[in-house]
Structure 1
Amino acid sequence: MSRLDLPPIGLGTSGNDDFEECAATVETALDLGYRHVDTAQMYDNEAAVGEGIRRSDVDREAVTIATKIHPDNLAYEDVLETAAESLDQLGVDTVDLLYVHWPISAYDPPETLRAFDELLEEGLVDHVGVSNFTPSLLEEARQLLDAPIAANQVECHPLLPQQELRAHAHEHGYELVGYSPLGQGELLEEPILTEIAGEYDATPAQVALSWAIARGVTPIPKGRGDHLRENLGATELDLRATDVARIDELGERTRFVDPDAAPWSESQ
């Protein structure tokens, strides 16, 4: 199996659950140059994402489509059944990357991951991924899976830089995909990002995304309208190493997606 090689930036679609708006956003993003689209059963927009891909002039084979199994659907039989439903919703024969969305609820490592291996063997999935996994959960999954872990998707941005997970991904040769790479918009007001953006004639969003790319993370920002082009422009922004280091020195640490059931929660 070939290693998953993601484009430097992808399109996140969480929260974009209006069918027409989501389809149009995906179509526009692909026409602008995006080649990685991320969705999930939880987002209730797989059909719209699939429609946007079909509307675009970009060939399906050129697009990395990623989706995720809902935590409530992680029992063995449910993984197999709902993965087939996701492919049907997307209108594709195979999905490039299928994630365990959260290791909670119905997640049963041996049974859940056995189903993912079977989907890969059957050719319905090209790569297996996990999302919101801690280092210990990653090690457990690596031991149980026959397939290599191709990606771990986690919240990642300058206020939550995920050094340990970045190092783990680098050591074991898989992609670290960063959701909420703009800190749900909070980073756009961060003074150091604003200052650096001014030095490059860029935007704070572009600086945050360029930081992620420089740190080996594939950001998947949500975006609509003009923000699609703005975010994509981060791939052309080459931050100096000294500026990447200035961003690294931010002392504040904030996690914006932090449900009570999360595997890193003290209550777990």
Structure 2
Amino acid sequence: MTIHIPEVLLNDGVKAPAIGFGTAWIRGAKGVESLKTAMNLGYRLIDSAFNYENEGVVGEAVRKSGVPREELFITSKLPGRHHKYDEAVKTIEESLYRAGLDYYDLYLIHWPNPKVNLYVEAWQALIDARKKGLIRSIGVSNFLPEHLERLIQETGVVPSMNQIELHPFYNQAEQRANHLTHGIVTESWSPLGRGKELLEHEHLRAIAETHGKSVSQIVLRWHVQLGAIPIPRSQSKEHQQENIDIFSFELSKEEMKAICDIPTTGPLWDQDPAVYEEF
């Protein structure tokens, strides 16, 4: 059964699905089949990246899925080593050639790489690529408030989305509040956080039992009610189905607060956007 997914209006007028499908480490023929299954279940936002080395897999799945291209919302990301303007332009074009697509619905700068200090230049390349019709909407990933402010001040163009690590053990309240002031939609990578630790958390399990849902469904519903777009990843059809089936129930204010009050343990990996340099 295909599940209908609500849409979120971005600040540039483009609409994005309220939940997506992450593709990191999904490659090859098995990856194509996994993506086809996800699309047939109802996933429409497919998140990829140049550095995932699977844009070709995504494009092949789009062609084989039977889902009309205009119904899909395909994302990719610019890698850190190609932030120079001319290189960024060529990389966006190469991303499209790899996937065999005419356009991306969303294209992000994967990391700011502040030491290299070329992210404004890269942002201008995305702005120009959008003008050419290569991209419908442009955003960033892992950008801190100071990086966002600089982009806006120097180009006058506000990102439509910022994809950040977000889960109950790292709820990023201040970052999300900053997004809200600029009308930037938050997208959540690693939305299910610390795997087994999260699935066995007593407060989350209690809420799940109340609703007759899994812990994963509770956490993904929490993201949606925060106004964030989660992009869980799974190659299992059962888990894909479970993860997308989160629009038939609602968490109470008390349940939302209980999840937000889970003590933060910080990011999953040592990747501080203030200093981290992606290749």
Q: Could you say whether these structures have the same fold, taking a TM-score greater than 0.5 normalized by the shorter chain as the test?
A: yes
- TM-superposed CA distance for 1:40, in Å, is 0.1
Native 8 Å contact 1:187 1:208 kept in 2: no
Match of 1:238 in 2: 250
Match of 1:191 in 2: 202
Deviation per CA, 1:131-187: give whole Å up to 9, x if none: 001111111111233433110000001111111121122222121000000014142
Q: Name the SS for the 1:157 alignment partner.
A: coil
Q: Name the SS for the 1:178 alignment partner.
A: strand
Match of 1:256 in 2: 268
- TM-superposed CA distance for 1:205, in Å, is 0.6
Deviation per CA, 1:104-145: give whole Å up to 9, x if none: 175503321221111111111111111001111111111233
CA RMSD of aligned residues (A): 1.8
**Residues 266 and 69 of structure 1: CA distance in aligned 2, closer, same or farther (over 3 Å):** closer
Q: 2 CA distance for matches of 1:170 and 1:255?
A: 21
Q: 2 CA distance for matches of 1:149 and 1:21?
A: 33
2:163 is aligned with 1:153: yes
| Amino acid of the structure 2 residue aligned with 1:180 | S
2:221 is aligned with 1:207: no
Give TM-score scaled by structure 1 length: 0.93
Q: Alignment length, in residue pairs?
A: 264
Q: What pairs with 1:1-268 in structure 2 (closer than 5 Å)?
A: 2-17=12-27, 19-104=28-113, 106-185=116-195, 186-225=197-236, 226-259=238-271, 262-265=272-275
- TM-superposed CA distance for 1:57, in Å, is 1.9
| Amino acid of the structure 2 residue aligned with 1:30 | M
Runs of 5+ unmatched residues, structure 2: 1-10
Q: 2 CA distance for matches of 1:263 and 1:46?
A: 24
Runs of 5+ unmatched residues, structure 1: none
Q: 2 CA distance for matches of 1:173 and 1:194?
A: 33
Native 8 Å contact 2:151 2:157 kept in 1: no
| Amino acid of the structure 2 residue aligned with 1:145 | T
**Residues 20 and 169 of structure 1: CA distance in aligned 2, closer, same or farther (over 3 Å):** same
Q: 2 CA distance for matches of 1:88 and 1:231?
A: 31
Native 8 Å contact 1:100 1:131 kept in 2: yes
Native 8 Å contact 1:166 1:216 kept in 2: no
| Amino acid of the structure 1 residue aligned with 2:100 | G
Percent identity over the alignment is: 33
Q: Name the SS for the 2:77 alignment partner.
A: strand
- TM-superposed CA distance for 1:76, in Å, is 1.1
Native 8 Å contact 2:158 2:182 kept in 1: no
Give TM-score scaled by structure 2 length: 0.89
Q: Name the SS for the 2:104 alignment partner.
A: coil
Q: Name the SS for the 1:183 alignment partner.
A: coil
Q: 2 CA distance for matches of 1:4 and 1:170?
A: 17
